[in-house]
């Protein structure tokens, strides 16, 4: 990848990191945001790398850990903050919240708070693309834990038997919610399951954004050429709890310190620095992302609350 692309990916990843950090700060205050928030801190390279490889109208189905996917799809941060703050200007006027919003204008077909449930929906979007002849490829992003859900198995078989263009992106962050995935499977090589469905499966290092982009590009081109779905197991990590407030007592001592060394933003900064980009420039990329996000959060905060008299609307056509 060239330097310009890498810098723009760093900026996109820093925006997501800054968004999640700002969200945490607001959640801690306890006045604007309530309930659970599931953060994407540490996994930013996956959404940013995948979206860099996709076309602008490829539909994306994510999970409750989906703020990063929405931002990578181009949803303005102000509208996501507003959604999570229950504002009228939120993408779903406060009906989706942190864990279930969508933003179809940016082909973000939504988060999903049921583990694995987005996978068959993405298959449907690919089915739709196939009948309508649009050439779109659908993305289903989910965690390692979702690999143990029946919906995901059914979705993979259905897509493979019909050769629908779906990229199943399994973000393996090592924890199935709060339990090590290794303890919940007979074979930790989740990508190998693809072979059982008759589709390609590959495991990649998600902390290297170039690998993410290359894999998604490769399999999406194959899907567009009618070769059907693929499973990409992206090895990644979350640097925070399953949800904000998770004490993470299940993590081995020192794990977070080790992960901080390999996580994708630190890694990309090192890579860019090795290619001659100054620390000052890298810091300024990070700082302008933080500034943009802080301003977006403030504008969302200033927006009016979603109209309570409207709480029953949008039930039926």
Partner 1 sequence: MPEISSNLKKMNYAAAANAALARALTERAECVLYGEDVAKPGGVFGVTRNLQTMFGERVFDTPISETAMLGAAVGAAMTGLRPIVEIMFIDFSLVAMDQIVNQAANVRYVSAGTLSAPLTIRTQQGVLPGSCAQHAQNLEALYAHIPGLRVGMPATVQDAYSMLLAGIACDDPTLLIEHRGLYFGAEEEIAIDGPIEAVSGARVRREGDDITLLSWSAMVHTALRAAEALAEEGISVEVLDARWIQPFDWETLFASVAKTGRLLILHEANLTGGFGAEVSAKTNEVLFGKLATPVMRMGLPDVRVPAAKHLQEALLPQQEDIVARVKSMVG
Which residues of the chain form contacts with partner 1 (CB under 8 A)?
59, 61, 91-93, 95-96, 100-105, 109-110, 112-114, 117, 119-129, 131-132, 138, 150-151, 154-155, 157-158, 161-162, 313-317
CB of 74 to partner 1, least distance (A): 15
Compare residues 60 and 212 and give the one whose CB is closer to partner 1: 60
Compare residues 10 and 99 and give the one whose CB is closer to partner 1: 99
Count Cα neighbours of 125 within 13 Å in the Cβ-side half-sphere: 23
Query: 166-172 and 138-143: which strand pairing?
Result: parallel
Q: Which residues contact 270 (CB under 8 A, 6 or more apart)?
A: none
Q: Measured between alpha carbons, how far is 136 from 132 in angstroms, rounded to an integer? A: 10
CB of 59 to partner 1, least distance (A): 6
The size of the chain, in residues, is: 317
Compare residues 50 and 152 and give the one whose CB is closer to partner 1: 152
CB of 10 to partner 1, least distance (A): 31
Query: 230-235 and 166-172: which strand pairing?
Result: parallel
Q: Measured between alpha carbons, how far is 161 from 41 in angstroms, rounded to an integer? A: 35
Compare residues 148 and 157 and give the one whose CB is closer to partner 1: 157
Query: 179-180 and 175-176: which strand pairing?
Result: antiparallel
CB of 248 to partner 1, least distance (A): 28
Compare residues 53 and 117 and give the one whose CB is closer to partner 1: 117
Q: Which of 99, 54, 97 is nearest to 74 (CA)?
A: 54
Q: Which of 45, 20, 21, 68 is nearest to 271 (CA)?
A: 45
Q: Which residues contact 309 (CB under 8 A, 6 or more apart)?
A: none
CB of 232 to partner 1, least distance (A): 19
Q: Which of 45, 20, 14 is nearest to 232 (CA)?
A: 45
Q: Measured between alpha carbons, how far is 191 from 169 in angstroms, rounded to an integer? A: 10
Contact between residue 200 and residue 231 where contact means Cβ atoms under 8 Å apart: yes
Compare residues 91 and 272 and give the one whose CB is closer to partner 1: 91
CB of 66 to partner 1, least distance (A): 13
Compare residues 7 and 95 and give the one whose CB is closer to partner 1: 95
Compare residues 117 and 230 and give the one whose CB is closer to partner 1: 117
CB of 315 to partner 1, least distance (A): 6
CB of 146 to partner 1, least distance (A): 13
């Amino acid at each position: 990848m060239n330097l310009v692309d890498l810098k723009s990916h760093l900026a996109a990843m820093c925006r997501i990191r800054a968004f999640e950090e700002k969200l945490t700060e607001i959640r801690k205050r306890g006045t604007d945001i309530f309930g659970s928030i599931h953060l994407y801190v540490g996994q930013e390279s996956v959404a940013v790398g995948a979206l860099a490889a996709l076309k602008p109208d490829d539909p994306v189905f994510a999970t409750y850990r989906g703020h990063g996917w929405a931002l990578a799809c181009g949803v303005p941060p102000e509208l996501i903050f507003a959604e999570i703050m229950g504002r009228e200007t939120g993408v779903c006027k406060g009906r989706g919240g942190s864990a279930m919003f969508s933003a179809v204008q940016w082909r973000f077909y939504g988060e999903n708070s049921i583990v694995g449930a987005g996978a068959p929906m993405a298959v449907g979007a690919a089915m739709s693309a196939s009948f309508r002849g649009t050439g779109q490829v659908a993305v289903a992003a989910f965690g390692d834990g979702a690999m143990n859900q029946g919906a995901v198995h059914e979705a993979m078989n259905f897509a493979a038997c019909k050769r629908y263009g779906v990229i199943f992106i399994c973000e393996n962050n090592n924890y199935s919610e709060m339990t090590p995935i290794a303890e919940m499977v007979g074979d930790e090589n989740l990508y190998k399951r693809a072979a059982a469905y008759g589709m390609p499966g590959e495991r990649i290092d998600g902390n290297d954004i170039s690998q993410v982009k290359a894999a998604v590009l490769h399999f999406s081109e194959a899907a567009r050429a009618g070769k059907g779905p693929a499973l990409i197991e992206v090895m990644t990590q979350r640097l925070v709890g399953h949800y904000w407030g998770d004490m993470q007592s299940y993590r081995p001592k020192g794990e977070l310190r080790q992960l901080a060394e390999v996580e994708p933003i630190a890694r990309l900064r090192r890579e860019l620095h090795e290619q001659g980009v100054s620390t000052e420039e890298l810091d300024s990329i990070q700082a302008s992302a933080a500034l943009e996000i802080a301003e977006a959060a403030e504008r969302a905060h200033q927006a009016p609350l979603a109209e309570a008299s409207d709480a029953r609307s949008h039930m039926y056509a």
